Structure 1
Amino acid sequence: MATLKVGLVSPERELWSGEATTVVAQTIEGSLGILPGHAPVLGVLLDGSVVKIEPANGGETIIAMVGSGFFSVAGDEVAVLAEQAELSGEVDVPDAQRALEEALGGEDATAERRARARLRAAGVEA
């Protein structure tokens, strides 16, 4: 079975790397699903969105909140380079809910989108 070599990184660390069967990311131009053999692509990640990766070994889906950044596909290699990223299992749900409540009262749309994305990544609808 054909696979993708995927890397999900932020400036602080590599969050995940490995072989995957699919990657779904939201760019400023819309949702993008990548399978092996996809044409080359360079996109801008939608700030405050969620990336989903299906590992080739059949393991649990990798879900991460991402801030601004880039998404590239070349050959069967996918790079997700996010300014801010957080894996679903690392999200502090009460903290994300507080951040959303604070953002709803202000004018910072980016903070609201990121708080909502953190909750979606953790499996909590906001």
Structure 2
Amino acid sequence: MSTFLLEIVTPERKVYAEQASMISVKGVEGELGILPNHIPLVTPLKIAPITVKKQGSKDEIIAVNGGFMEVRKDKVVILAESAELPEQIDIDRAKAAKERAEKRLAETKQDNVDFKRAEASLQRAVNRISVSGK
């Protein structure tokens, strides 16, 4: 079975660089499954977990908080605002961030800039919590 190189990069560092046989991501237009030799593609990503399937081992889940994915013939690069492997996630910090965001959402009007920031903060916290539990 063929594979491709998956790299997940943030402004601070390279989070992940390994061979994968398939990945599943959530783009802004919907969910995508990428296999080796996929047609070239660039798409924005939602705040959501990425599932990495590897030959002979169990799936890996990575929390990716937005960004872009570029698919090439033999390589996929995800340029993310932030990304964390499950063992890197501080679950207590994520739960506290979720509570703060929920409180701000309850206190803020929907058309307010703070509402949109709180909503994004809530999505990031929920993403981290779900990935850390897998």
Same fold (TM over 0.5): yes
Larger radius of gyration: 2
What stretches of structure 2 of length at least 5 have no aligned partner?
Answer: 105-114
Letter in 2 for 1:10: T
Displacement of 1:120: 1.1
Deviations 1:22-70 (A, max 9, x none): 1111111111110112111110011x211111233x3343321112211
TM-score by length of 1: 0.89
Equivalent position SS for 2:21? strand
Letter in 1 for 2:92: P
Flag as ranges the 4+ runs of structure 1 deviating above 3 A.
none
1:82 — aligned with what? 80
Contact conserved, 1:18 with 1:55, CA < 8 A, in 2? Answer: no
Equivalent position SS for 1:68? strand
In the alignment, the residues of structure 1 paired with residue 14 and residue 52 of structure 2 have an alpha-carbon distance, to the nearest angstrom, of 14
2:121 — aligned with what? 111
Deviations 1:2-30 (A, max 9, x none): 11111011111111111110111111111
Displacement of 1:76: 2.1
In the alignment, the residues of structure 1 paired with residue 50 and residue 95 of structure 2 have an alpha-carbon distance, to the nearest angstrom, of 20
In the alignment, the residues of structure 2 paired with residue 61 and residue 89 of structure 1 have an alpha-carbon distance, to the nearest angstrom, of 14
What is the CA RMSD across the aligned residues, in angstroms? Answer: 1.4
Displacement of 1:72: 1.1
Q: Percent identity?
A: 33
In the alignment, the residues of structure 2 paired with residue 85 and residue 19 of structure 1 have an alpha-carbon distance, to the nearest angstrom, of 18
TM-score by length of 2: 0.84
Equivalent position SS for 1:96? helix
Match among 109, 112, 132 for residue 122 of structure 1? 132
What stretches of structure 1 of length at least 5 have no aligned partner?
Answer: none
User: How many residues are matched?
Assistant: 122
In the alignment, the residues of structure 2 paired with residue 8 and residue 30 of structure 1 have an alpha-carbon distance, to the nearest angstrom, of 20
1:61 aligns with 2:71: no
Answer 1 or 2: which has greater helix percent. Answer: 2
